[in-house]
Amino acid sequence: MVPAPSAFMAVLVATLFLPGSSLFAQSGDRGGLWWGASVQGGGTRLTCDFCDRSRKLGGALEAAIGAYASPQLRVGVEAGVWTRSDDDVREDVYTAGVVAELYPSRDSGLHLVGGVGWSGYRAGDFALDAPRIRLGAGWDLPVASSWVVGNRILLDAASYGSLDNDGDSVARPVGLSMVRFGVYVRRR
């Protein structure tokens, strides 16, 4: 059985190289290269035998760059950071990965978000690195011929990680989930 992230990547690669599809497709108002930045708020939770299961709230920043595979499919790479401070301990989650955004209708700003990548949690001497998947949805609102603003909600889920303390594993397996709501600006 093919794991979900591998299957997603296979579909993404196949879509990029199908006849009539081009990484730099130019069609309508969605074509060529794009880049964007997002400001988000949301919660993060670690899941393990002794982890605090409450969702911790914090702020996040994210940046992405890519190209339109078709007028209805945007692909790219993204990187971001979520952070919060509590009792002299700063918690951070770093993310990086491949992202795809699919527009079910050419006439709507609604888009579905999917991706695979890595999440890294850091808090004092504790660290977790794990593969992750991303799911979400958003809405584009054109503000100029080549600029878009919008909002979206995202869920990142990472699992199969090991929580380390000064390099020694203290819990395994450990899951990490992040739910965020954000606003973004994108140049298309």
| Domain count within the chain | 1
pLDDT in tens, 74-104: 999 999 999 999 888 999 999 999 999 999 9
Q: Are 119 and 109 in contact (CB under 8 A)?
A: no
Which residues span the domain enclosing 62? 4-187
Is residue 3 scored above 70 in pLDDT?
no
Distance of CA 9 to the CA centre of its chain: 14
Q: Which single residue is written with the structure tokens 């299961």?
A: 53
Question: Which pLDDT tens digit goes with each residue over 19-36?
Answer: 333 333 333 455 789 999
Q: Which domain CATH number covers 180? A: 2.40.160.20
